[in-house]
Amino acid sequence: MGETITTRAFKISDYEAALELWSRVEGIEIAEGDAKEEVKHFLIRNPNLSRVVEDDGKLIGVALCGEDGRRGYIYHLAVEPRYHQKGLARRLVSECVEGLRSRGLTRALILVADDNPGAQAFWERCGWEPVPGAKVMGMDL
């Protein structure tokens, strides 16, 4: 690990590095809504909520975070695999949660794939709980 690990707000100029990381990290599905223009719109609607972590200026972690005025959401949390077990994912989650709290929100949600027990265990260790009876549904617009 380099000398300088820092976190900051995600900027649209981080998109290519984030997309490259998301494509390599197990459990992240790049889908509709993840194109650069759509992420740009998301960031504009949710300023300073999404976060990145850098090591000496190189993006090594990212979390998209936003809210709809009622609930907060965290998407695409990813940390470069060689930086796992260093607390960086927890740090990103903590910063996202604090950003949501600062906007007056009292509840946040995440989506975790059924076939990703490692991610489920991570989120549970961070204090998140399954939502019983909920089933995610979607529709392409």
pLDDT band at 3 (very low <50, low <70, confident <90, very high): low
pLDDT tens by residue, 17-54: 999 999 999 889 898 889 999 999 999 999 999 999 99
Query: Which CATH superfamily is 5-125 part of?
Result: Gcn5-related N-acetyltransferase (GNAT) (3.40.630.30)
Tell me how far apart the alpha carbons of residues 10 and 80 are, in angstroms, rounded to a whole number. 16
pTM value is 0.91
Q: Is 110 helix (H, G, I), strand (E, B) or coil?
A: strand
CB atoms within 10 A of CB 126: 14
Q: What contacts 24+ positions apart, CB below 8 Å, involve 30-33?
A: 32/140
Per the prediction, the chain carries an average pLDDT of 93
The answer on pLDDT for 1 being more than 70 is no
pLDDT band at 77 (very low <50, low <70, confident <90, very high): very high
The answer on pLDDT for 123 being more than 80 is yes
Q: Tell me what the mean pLDDT of segment 94-110 comes to.
A: 96
